[in-house]
Amino acid sequence: RTIRVWLKRDSGQYWPSIYHTMSSPCSAMAYHHDSRRIFVGQDNGAIMEFHISEDFNKMNFVKTYPAHQNRVSAITFCLASEWVISTGHDKCISWMCTRSGSMLGRHYFTSWASCLQYDHESRHAFVGDYSGQITLLKLEQNTCSVITTLKGHEGSITSLWWDPVQRLLFSGASDHSIIMWDIGGRKGRTLLLQGHHDKVQAICYIQLTRQLVSCSADGGIAVWNMDISREEAPQWLESDSCQKCEQPFFWNIKQMWDTKTLGLRQHHCRKCGQAVCGKCSTKRSSYPIMGFEFQVRVCDSCFESIKDEDRTSLATFHEGKHNISHMSMDISRGLMVTCGSDRIVKIWDMTPVVGCSLATGFSSR
């Protein structure tokens, strides 16, 4: 139930400078660096605003916003419009005026709203929810309109990242996968990335180096090379019989009766998307250019077409050694902070991995 500010001493150790005890457990936070304003969401649905002094040794309470009726899941602050925008477990997104503290608008979803990204120029909000959908909204002063709904994940959306330069949206989910959506090109899903063994808790796209950093609940940290031409995973094809040997699947009663054969279970080749039986897809292979860093089912003909160099990994994998529940990147300094369910905060020097020294001109330590 506390919010704390930690200062780095000359010795290199971090010590707590100030802290404030909240009336309810803290569930989300947004910090605006230039104005030193902190917005803290709580389990009771309220958002509290604080202002940090220039020397970071004082925390002044500003106001409380009655944003939600249940746990706040994500917060973002827009200085230009003086809006604090948030999502919550009461299945809604709300936007409030930070000058008056009044509610400007709300929009309700059918499931818990779990994560949020906001484009400050266009006033578009991306909201991920527990049903696995991402809703794109256009926020106005007192109303909003639904632009589109993105569907592609098989589990609840756990993290979102918006890149306003290339107009790309990245989403992580409890199905262990990451999807890249081309919003600017209106192409929908363009890439599926699978390299985690647990739900993806946090993602960050580094536009300067074309790298994507993702963290999962089991402590896995992946750095994806996005500066290459990747292939989009195909949509799965539907068929009543194997598209290789033409044997019927178990629901194809007519063909089973005509051929006097037992139906087979349907599978799909991850490379070509064809519906195949188990006998025609006995092989497994990784195929990183399509985002499959693990071995996945492929049909026998696709397996023969994959060369050894095609299996070279296009991501690096690292062990966080704690159950990562949140991650934040300071791209300018190449530093990453991870927070774990073990109540430990870790600070990482990511410069040897993400190549920020090339992008920002500072040398790695």
Q: Which CATH number fits domain 253-311: 3.30.40.10, 3.90.1150.10, 3.90.950.10, 3.40.50.620?
A: 3.30.40.10
Determine the 3-state secondary structure of 179 from DSSP.
strand
Tell me how far apart the alpha carbons of residues 128 and 181 are, in angstroms, rounded to a whole number.
13
- At 5 the pLDDT is 92
Mean pLDDT of 107-117: 93
- At 355 the pLDDT is 66
One DSSP character per residue, 53-94 reads: -TTS--EEEEEEE---SS-EEEEEEETTTTEEEEEETTSEEE
- At 92 the pLDDT is 94
Encoding tokens for residue 23?
Answer: 């009336």
Q: Where are the chain's structural domains?
A: 2-229+313-354, 253-311
Q: 300: part of which helix (H) or strand (E)?
A: helix 300-305
Q: Which residue from 199, 205, 176 is spatially nearest to 323, judged by alpha carbons?
A: 199
- At 260 the pLDDT is 79
Q: Which residues, other chains included, contact 291 with Cβ-Cβ below 8 Å and sequence gap of 6+?
A: 178, 191, 192, 193, 194, 195, 230, 233
pLDDT class for 362, splitting at 50, 70, 90?
A: very low
Encoding tokens for residue 99?
Answer: 């000058």
- Rg over alpha carbons for the chain, rounded to the nearest Å, is 23
Number of Cβ within 10 Å of residue 116's Cβ equals 22
- Angstrom distances, CA of residue 70 to CA of 28, 113, 190: 12, 11, 34
- Angstrom distances, CA of residue 303 to CA of 246, 292, 316, 324: 19, 14, 24, 35
Region of residue 175 (left: phi > 0; alpha: psi -120 to 50; beta: else): alpha
- Is the pLDDT score of 167 beyond 60? yes
- Is the pLDDT score of 195 beyond 70? yes
- Digit-coded pLDDT (tens) for 11-62: 888 888 898 999 999 999 999 999 999 999 999 999 999 999 998 889 999 9
In terms of DSSP bridges, do strands 335-340 and 324-330 run parallel, antiparallel, or are they unpaired? antiparallel
DSSP 8-class letter at 311: G
**Beta strand ranges found along 195-322 (DSSP E):** 200-206, 211-216, 220-225, 267-268, 275-276, 283-287, 292-298, 315-319
Q: Any idea which residue has 């000058």 for tokens?
A: 99
Determine the 3-state secondary structure of 184 from DSSP.
coil
In terms of DSSP bridges, do strands 283-287 and 292-298 run parallel, antiparallel, or are they unpaired? antiparallel
- Digit-coded pLDDT (tens) for 198-242: 999 999 999 888 899 999 999 999 999 988 888 888 888 989 889
pTM of structure: 0.85
DSSP 8-class letter at 240: S
Encoding tokens for residue 107?
Answer: 């929009």
Encoding tokens for residue 126?
Answer: 């991306």
* Topology, domain 2-229+313-354: Methylamine Dehydrogenase; Chain H (2.130.10)
pLDDT class for 360, splitting at 50, 70, 90?
A: very low
